[in-house]
A and B are shown apart, each in its own frame.
Chain A
């Protein structure tokens, strides 16, 4: 048997919500959980580190530190205690972007709790995307939405910052408001999008859409499977 094969069968011991499992080394947390028999109905989405659905907390035996990761990205380690956070309860205020000017206090109006930030940096430490979360919360406090948008560009709203924040903020929702403001007031308008919107409004695609809406499930499946995929 080759060396490679041996490596593959090496097992590590992990604990999923307190229960012990032996899983092959080298798997991601997500795959290890599936190997152990779990079937994901929540806490799983794109499996590629982009959707932010698989927020996970874990500790490793012998280390006091609580660690944060995306289950689809982090490889299992021997002695890992794993638990998932499928959903983060968070206040989501309703605002009308059309009426919302990029004023200095725009964040404080909808998220006054950002004024509770004590700059402890726990959010930054929690971020699996390695964002400088505390810095963008601080920028929001002073109304600098461009800075917030730029620092939070890679945020995938996994919710781990909000779970860890000792002052109970929800940084990722604040960042979302910033990126929306940025898109509305700063980013150059994409011409082709405007043209396409005009086409949609003029009814150019109505007939095609109507056809899809009336199609049977099997027909839809076929359309999907034979769809054009842009080359990478």
Chain B
């Protein structure tokens, strides 16, 4: 067992519980114990892209400090990696280190945290640097390996036509992305290791509309149609995702998209971890399909394919 600090983030604790329930279970199956940070806060979701206003840059750095504290308290030994499932959390945690490369910004945040020491609940030490954010996809690719995944498959996803969708934040910008930003292959490789039939999705790296889902659902509806129609036409039966916000938009906004474009038929959207839980032969409770978190219910498809 490899013990790795684990940053859940708000989404996988709430609307994307199906992601973390399946993810933590398959990690354990593959020899990775995810140890939740004893204390954590929202990562900020997007890195704040302005050079000034240090306050809005603090959230992810705080979490990196909590990883540091885990080492100091001996919860993990010399482990400076922190794993996330959510693409947005991964992105902000990773970006925080890049932001702090600028000595002037580093100094400003250090001063901020230095002043916090005297307060109850404040961090006791500033960020020393060196904590590395890992997306769980990277754990699967680099620590576990595709071969090991293939070896562990108990119930191959034979005949299941899956179309991967990456979204933006695990790929772009280049200095943060976990794969080739124009032609990523991690999801494809994992899905092939599980025995599924991968359907090409030309829009798999396109934006899902992101936070516009709150106030501009019209924009998200257009993008949802655009992102789903090609794989649907190519015969895909399920869309496979890695980000809770992409998943919400691709799944729940099908309702809006279907109203605008009558030719869009409903298609279930699942996290790659859910399909892995099925393929690795885990207990049904770890599929996360019974929690009422899907808009398009994937169960009929799974039943039809003898996977449920």
A touches B in complex, CB < 8 A: yes
Which of A105, A118, A130 interacts with B120 by CB under 8 Å? A130
Residues of A in contact with B, size category: 20 to 34
- Could you tell me if A143 and B13 are in contact, using CB atoms closer than 8 angstroms? yes
Q: Decide if the interface of chain A is mainly helix, strand, loop or mixed.
A: loop
Tell me if A80 counts as interface (CB < 8 A to partner B). no
Which stretch of A19-27, A82-90, A120-128, A222-230 is in the interface? A120-128
Cβ contacts A to B, 11 pairs, < 8 Å: A117-B41, A118-B58, A118-B59, A119-B59, A120-B55, A121-B116, A121-B122, A130-B120, A131-B120, A134-B121, A166-B55
- Could you tell me if B39 and A104 are in contact, using CB atoms closer than 8 angstroms? no
Q: Which residue of B lies closest to A166 (CB)?
A: B55
Which of B42, B58, B119, B120 interacts with A138 by CB under 8 Å? B42
Tell me if A77 counts as interface (CB < 8 A to partner B). no
Which of A124, A143, A144 interacts with B122 by CB under 8 Å? A124
Tell me if A74 counts as interface (CB < 8 A to partner B). no
- Could you tell me if B41 and A138 are in contact, using CB atoms closer than 8 angstroms? yes
Question: Which residues of chain B in 209-263 are interfacial with respect to chain A, using CB atoms and an 8 Å cutoff?
Answer: none
Contacts from B to A (Cβ < 8 Å)? 10, 13-15, 17, 39-42, 44, 55-56, 58-59, 62, 116, 119-122
Chain B residues, Cβ within 8 Å of A124:
119-122
- Could you tell me if B62 and A119 are in contact, using CB atoms closer than 8 angstroms? yes
Contacts from A to B (Cβ < 8 Å)? 104-105, 117-121, 124-125, 130-135, 138, 141-144, 166
Which of A132, A134, A142 interacts with B10 by CB under 8 Å? A142
- Could you tell me if A119 and B42 are in contact, using CB atoms closer than 8 angstroms? yes
B250 to chain A, nearest CB (A): 19
Q: Decide if the interface of chain B is mainly helix, strand, loop or mixed.
A: loop
- Could you tell me if B10 and A141 are in contact, using CB atoms closer than 8 angstroms? yes
Given A118-B44, A125-B116, A134-B41, A104-B14 contact (CB < 8 Å) = yes
Chain A residues, Cβ within 8 Å of B58:
118-121
Closest 6 CB pairs of A and B: A132-B121, A104-B14, A119-B59, A138-B41, A130-B120, A142-B10
Complex formed: what's the CA distance from A150 to B127 in Å? 28
- Could you tell me if B56 and A121 are in contact, using CB atoms closer than 8 angstroms? no
Apart from A118-B56, A132-B120, A135-B121, what are 4 other A-B pairs with CB-CB below 8 Å? A120-B55, A121-B119, A125-B119, A134-B41
Chain A residues, Cβ within 8 Å of B41:
117, 119, 134-135, 138
- Could you tell me if B13 and A144 are in contact, using CB atoms closer than 8 angstroms? yes
- Could you tell me if A119 and B44 are in contact, using CB atoms closer than 8 angstroms? yes
Complex formed: what's the CA distance from A81 to B258 in Å? 62
Complex formed: what's the CA distance from A169 to B219 in Å? 29
Chain B residues, Cβ within 8 Å of A132:
120-121
B61 to chain A, nearest CB (A): 9
Chain B residues, Cβ within 8 Å of A104:
13-15, 17
Which of B14, B17, B62, B122 interacts with A105 by CB under 8 Å? B14
